[in-house]
Copies of this chain bind each other. A is one copy, B any other.
Amino acid sequence: MNLTLENLSKIIGGQLNGDGKIEIVRLANLETAKTGEISFVEKSEFSEHAQKTRASCLIVPENFNIELPCASINVKNPKLGFAKISEIIHAPERKIGIHKTAQIAENVKLGVGVYIGAFVSIGKTSSVGKGTQIQDGSRIGANVSIGENCFIRANAVVYDNVSIGNNVILHAGTVVGADGFGFVRDAEKYFKFPQIGTVVIEDDVEIGANTCIDRGALGETRIGRGTKIDNLVQIAHNVRIGDRVIIAAQTGISGSTVIEDDCIIGGQVGMGDHARVLKGAVIGSQAGVLPGKIVRSGVWWGTPVQPLDEYKRQNAHLKGISRLKEELKALKKQLDDLKNKPGN
């Protein structure tokens, strides 16, 4: 397919103003875009940059009525249109073939068009779906199922018996399926509680670099369809995460906690075990959710987590304590004066 404005405009369902034959080679920032590049404008406030742009085309909102020095495509959500075009113009490179150094055990099923990079190892009876790319140095255990069109980036590790869907991206250094953290103590030492469950990662999930997703103790840890997880996140055993959940970097979710569909979790959030975050809840960065807590939909903040409004009010109160002290002192003085008046 030619990357003409005519084609791109159709793909994002927009209305083109300008020469549909113009070809686009790259996406760029509004401030730096040059000829052959496309950028976008989210709101009319950025019109000054837009008016000066040297891009070949800008994606603009439907009600955008500022004259531009280039072609434009009107759509409802320009940033979304830009993202959709990116998937076409900047689709990650796909290779085909099995590197001569790769170590693939017996009874491994490889789909058509897979790429298995240098120094990759794949354990016995595993399967890799068509078009999936397993990059250099990654470790795929035994009896692992990986779907189609996945990207397993360099040096990622998938332990035995894990199941991964289609169109999943695991970034470099991510570890899926390590033992959960469970021990039972007797007088002398800790015994390992069995960590013999599995991890299921559904379709369209992306998992950041050096993130850890532990296997279930006896059951499974599950990451729902379309969920996106950032770098250095910890997902403990038996956690269940719903569909289309966003989890920012360095957040940690303790064992058996459930996060329902469409939640947004900030960075460095900590959740105790057996908590439940209900559909669509938003939890601000660095918040702390106590074990067993149920977090209803709405926006939550702080440790222990509370509704954002309450958090703000409490913070305002906190700032007000010193004034409270002064008022109390003044009141005391008045009362003393009153008591010392003749007649009291």
Contacts and interface: CB of A to CB of B under 8 A. Distances in A.
Give the copy number: 3
A240 to B, nearest CB: 14
Interface residues of A, number: 103
A250 interface: yes
Interface in A55-112: 77, 79-80, 82-84, 86-87, 90, 99, 101, 103
Contact of A335 (B169, B214, B244, B338): B338
A303 B268 CA distance: 12
Contacts of A99: 103
Interface string A211-255: 010100011000000101011101010000000101011101010
The binding surface of chain A is classed by DSSP as loop
Give the residue among A103, A172, A246, A318 with the most B Cβ atoms within 10 A.
A172
Interface stretch (A1-9, A180-188, A292-300): A180-188
A153 interface: yes
Interface stretch (A14-22, A125-133, A325-333): A325-333
The 9 tightest CB contacts between A and B, nearest first, are A86-B194, A139-B154, A83-B191, A157-B172, A175-B209, A317-B321, A212-B231, A178-B209, A234-B249
Nearest to A341: B344
A199 to B, nearest CB: 12
Contacts of A246: 183, 190
Nearest to A139: B154
Given A103-B101, A178-B231, A303-B286, A87 B121 contact: no
A280 to B, nearest CB: 12
A258 B189 CA distance: 20
Given A231-B234, A250-B234, A270 B268 contact: yes
A187 to B, nearest CB: 10
Contact of A190 (B185, B194, B228, B232): B228
